Amino acid sequence: MDITVQQLKERLDNKEAINIIDVREIHEHEEFNIGGKNIPMGEIPSKLDELESLKTKELIVYCRSGNRSGNIKMFLESNGFTNVKNLEGGMLAWQEQS
């Protein structure tokens, strides 16, 4: 199951501790981001060891439109991650609702 912009905004507003990964490129992250760790999509496979502690925890991934993060969600799930959510619509949807 994925997460909507509204659901994520509510959780961030409530100051919940959430594991968020921005899979966009560094320059995209620097232009606008909602927090979370920036690991560009191409670097995720080599960073699996770093993410190991999150395998069974909720992990929310996002990108510009939801496409790259959707692919990363599938990749992480195929590597044993059990609770990955993609931010529907990505940063485009986030900015539209701001």
Which three-class secondary structure state does DSSP give residue 20? strand
Report how far residue 85's alpha carbon sits from residue 87's, in angstroms, rounded to the nearest whole number. 7
Q: Which residues touch 12 (CB under 8 Å, ≥6 apart)?
A: 18, 34, 35
Which positions are annotated as active-site residues?
A: 63
